[in-house]
């Protein structure tokens, strides 16, 4: 099987690894050279714009590609799957209409409203400043978050109390979006603990995977600006200590309902990965966002412990027989820590060399995935986004965290990471938080 991965990050690196493990002959198309994909594919890589469909189609024809796995949201939201499939190349990823579940927060909230999806939250869409102040006065600024329409790499949402500290700051942010003619949402602010549920979808069947918790904030103790995610963990029992099996079942039901709603609304069957980010609150599980792809870093928490052949899963997604498949995972905990360039996300230092002690990483047993790190002349350099994901896998969270932390010590460069990701201390804080919200 000749399989092409589109995308340049750590999510695509781990997807490529799972495909090769499943027996695929890997090809990679990406905007700059990911050293991991370069190696896994035996240098069968093409470097170009990930939304230039003409080039991607030409590359697929030239290499006789059997199917394509699209990693990132950007090409999905502008129709890469439509373009490739109409040229005869099947894809793991949703078509453009279905991908709007991530591409447009307005589409997503309207869909959840219309189809009365259980975990929906209250919000209102604005196109200008008309009615914004009245809405803020009615709801109270302390109860709101502001979300710009469109893709923001996880960095556009501003939450009162965290990023916005007064009604004026909220109005100013709304004004800046309105002046760029961007639509935005004012949404009910929720309090609780977040969890990620990643699923495989073939149009009808939706299969879940181990729960993961990401860390959106840049600095330890959940301080600082939002990022694409600074690290993530999963537990050996595939749940989180503060999330019950019933919570997961409810979340999965909502994801199945959303897949049906997308079909009813657009006529398009959703195929690919669907990522649900939920928050457990005092009044139940609430939906924060859907992504039309696997999570980054969260893909690194599920694919390396996958026991079922990933190539087979991709084929089942494409051909619609996921219901015939049983997907298994090792009963292990995982901790992924992201190394980001100093200054990330506000003023990241790019073009800085990164040195990787591969031998020591191997000895420690840590896995490592290249993210937005550019390979040039056999050297690795930072770009303006997260650079490398270091992963520990073990029987317990504690051990997985130690492996990841020791692995981080094998990477040299102008980089920083969150030491607290995956620690028992932070986990206890999450448990106490939920207990206090639920008045236990
Ligand atoms: P998003 O880009 O939608 O993933 O949002 C980024 C982060 O903002 C989420 O991970 C949450 O931590 C936070 N967030 C988003 N929506 C809300 C909300 N309605 N209430 C509280 N926090 C939110
Ligand atoms: N880790 C969050 C995301 O992939 O969107």
Q: Decide if pLDDT at 188 tops 80.
A: yes
Of the residues 156, 188, 220, which one is the last residue of a structural domain?
188
CA dist list (Å): 190 to 76, 116, 147, 161, 162: 29, 19, 13, 12, 12
Specify whether 408 is located in the same domain as 373.
yes
Residue at 437 is within a domain:
no
- Shortest-distance Cα residue to atom 3 of ligand 2: 295
Q: Is 232 in the pocket of ligand 1 (CB under 6 A)?
A: no
For residue 85, tell me if it sits in a domain: yes
Q: Are the CB atoms for 7 and 50 separated by under 8 Å? A: yes
**Are residues 395 and 276 part of one domain?**
yes
Q: Which ligand is nearest to the CA of 119?
A: 1
Interval 43-81: pLDDT, tens: 999 999 999 999 999 999 999 999 999 999 999 999 999
CATH number at residue 304: 3.30.470.20
Domain membership flag for residue 434? no
51 and 129: one domain?
Answer: no
- Local structure of residue 154 (DSSP, 8 states): T
Beta strands in 282-348, from DSSP E residues, in sequence order: 284-291, 333-341
Give yes or no: residues 345 and 373 share one domain. Answer: yes
Radius of gyration of the chain (CA): 21
Q: Which of the four pLDDT bands, split at 50, 70 and 90, describes residue 152?
A: confident
415 and 346 belong to one structural domain: yes
Nearest ligand 2 atom to the CA of 295 is 4
220 Cβ closer than 6 Å to some ligand 1 atom: no
Residue 187 CB–ligand 1 contact under 6 Å: yes
What's the gap in Å between 152 CA and the centre of ligand 2?
11
**178 and 289 together in one domain:** no
Q: Of 249, 263, 237, 241, which Cα lies nearest the Cα of 208?
A: 249
Residue at 207 is within a domain:
yes
226, 311: one domain: yes
Is residue 431 a part of any domain in this protein? no
The answer to whether residues 203 and 129 belong to one domain is: no
Query: Is there a contact between 125 and 93 (Cβ–Cβ < 8 Å)?
Result: no
Question: Residues 19-44: pLDDT tens digits?
Answer: 999 999 999 999 999 999 999 999 99
Q: 29 and 45 share a domain?
A: yes
Residue nearest to atom 4 of ligand 2 (CA): 295
Q: Which of 69, 101, 133 is the last residue of a domain?
A: 101
Is there an atom of ligand 2 within 6 Å of 214 CB? yes
Answer whether residue 120 shows pLDDT above 70. Answer: yes
Report pLDDT for 64: 98
How confident is the prediction for the chain on average, in pLDDT? 96
Report the pLDDT value the prediction gives residue 151, as an integer from 0 to 100.
Answer: 84
Helix-helix angle 245-266:105-114, to 10 degrees: 100
Which range of residues forms the domain containing residue 152? Answer: 122-188
Using a 6 Å cutoff on CB, does residue 229 contact ligand 2? Answer: yes
Which atom of ligand 1 is nearest the CA belonging to 190? 20
- Counting residues of the chain whose pLDDT is more than 90, the rounded percentage is 95
Residue 154 pLDDT grade (very low, low, confident, very high; cuts 50, 70, 90): low
For a ligand 2 pocket test, name from 277, 418, 421 the mutation site with the most ligand atoms within 8 angstroms of its C-beta: 277
How far, in Å, from the CA of 295 to the mean position of ligand 1?
A: 15
Is pLDDT above 70 for 259? yes
Q: What residue's CA is closest to ligand 1, atom 10?
A: 216
pLDDT digits (tens, 9 = 90+) for 274-328: 999 999 999 999 999 999 999 999 999 999 999 999 999 999 999 999 999 999 9
Do residues 392 and 366 both lie within one domain? Answer: yes
CATH number at residue 161: 3.30.1490.20
For the Cβ of 413 lying below 6 angstroms from any atom of ligand 2, the answer is: no
Residue 129 pLDDT exceeds 80: yes
Q: Please tell me whether residues 181 and 318 are part of one structural domain.
A: no
**Is 201 contained in some domain?**
yes
CA angle 312, 302, 360 (to 5 degrees): 115
Domain count, the chain: 3
pLDDT, mean of residues 196-224 = 96
Indicate whether 157 belongs to any domain: yes
CATH number at residue 48: 3.40.50.20
Whose C-alpha lies nearest to ligand 1, atom 1?
154
Is 288 touching ligand 1 by the criterion CB < 6 Å? yes
Shortest-distance atom of ligand 2 to CA 229: 1
**Pocket lining: 230 vs ligand 1, CB cutoff 6 Å:** no
Q: Is 90 found in the same domain as 216?
A: no
Q: Which of 188, 215, 236 is the last residue of a domain?
A: 188
Strand, coil or helix: 88: coil
pTM of the model: 0.96
Q: Is residue 407 assigned to a domain?
A: yes
**Any atom of ligand 1 within 6 Å of the Cβ of 150:** no
């Amino acid at each position: 099987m000749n399989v092409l991965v589109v995308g340049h990050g750590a999510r695509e690196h781990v997807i490529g690894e799972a495909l090769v493990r499943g027996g695929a002959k890997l090809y990679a198309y990406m905007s700059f050279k990911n050293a991991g994909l370069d190696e896994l594919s035996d240098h069968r890589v093409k470097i170009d714009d990930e939304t230039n469909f003409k080039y991607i189609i030409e590359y697929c024809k030239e290499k006789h590609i059997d199917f394509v796995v699209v990693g990132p949201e950007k090409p999905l939201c502008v129709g890469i799957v439509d373009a490739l499939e109409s040229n005869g190349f099947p894809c793991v990823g949703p078509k453009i209409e279905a991908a709007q579940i991530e591409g447009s927060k307005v589409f997503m909230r309207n869909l959840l409203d219309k189809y009365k999806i259980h975990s929906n939250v209250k919000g209102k869409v604005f196109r200008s400043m008309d009615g914004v102040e009245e809405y803020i006065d009615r709801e109270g600024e302390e109860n709101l978050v502001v979300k710009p329409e469109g893709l923001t790499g996880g960095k556009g949402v501003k939450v009162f109390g965290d990023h916005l500290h007064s009604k004026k700051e909220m109005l100013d942010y709304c004004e800046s979006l309105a002046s760029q003619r961007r639509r935005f949402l004012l949404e009910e602010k929720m309090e609780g603990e977040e969890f990620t549920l990643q699923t495989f979808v073939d149009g009808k069947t939706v299969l879940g995977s181990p729960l993961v918790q990401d860390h959106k904030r840049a600095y330890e103790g959940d301080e600082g600006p939002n990022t694409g995610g600074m690290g993530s963990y999963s537990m050996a029992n595939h749940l989180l200590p503060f999330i019950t099996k019933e919570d997961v079942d409810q979340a999965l039901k909502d994801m199945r309902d959303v897949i049906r709603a997308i079909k009813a609304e657009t006529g398009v069957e959703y195929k690919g990965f669907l990522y649900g980010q939920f928050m457990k609150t005092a009044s139940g599980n609430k939906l924060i966002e859907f992504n039309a792809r696997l999570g980054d870093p969260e893909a690194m928490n599920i694919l390396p412990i996958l026991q079922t052949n990933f190539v087979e899963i991709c084929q089942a997604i494409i051909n619609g027989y996921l219901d015939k498949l049983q997907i298994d995972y090792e009963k292990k905990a995982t901790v992924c820590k992201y190394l980001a360039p100093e200054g990330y996300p506000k003023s990241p230092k790019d073009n800085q060399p990164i040195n990787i002690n591969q031998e020591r990483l191997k000895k420690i047993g840590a896995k490592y995935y290249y993210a937005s790190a550019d390979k040039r002349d056999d050297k690795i350099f930072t770009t303006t986004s997260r650079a490398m994901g270091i992963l520990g896998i073990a029987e317990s969270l504690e051990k997985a965290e130690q492996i990841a932390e020791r692995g981080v010590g094998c990477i040299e460069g102008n980089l920083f990471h969150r030491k607290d990701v995956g620690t028992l201390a932070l986990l206890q804080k999450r448990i106490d938080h939920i207990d206090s919200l639920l008045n236990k």
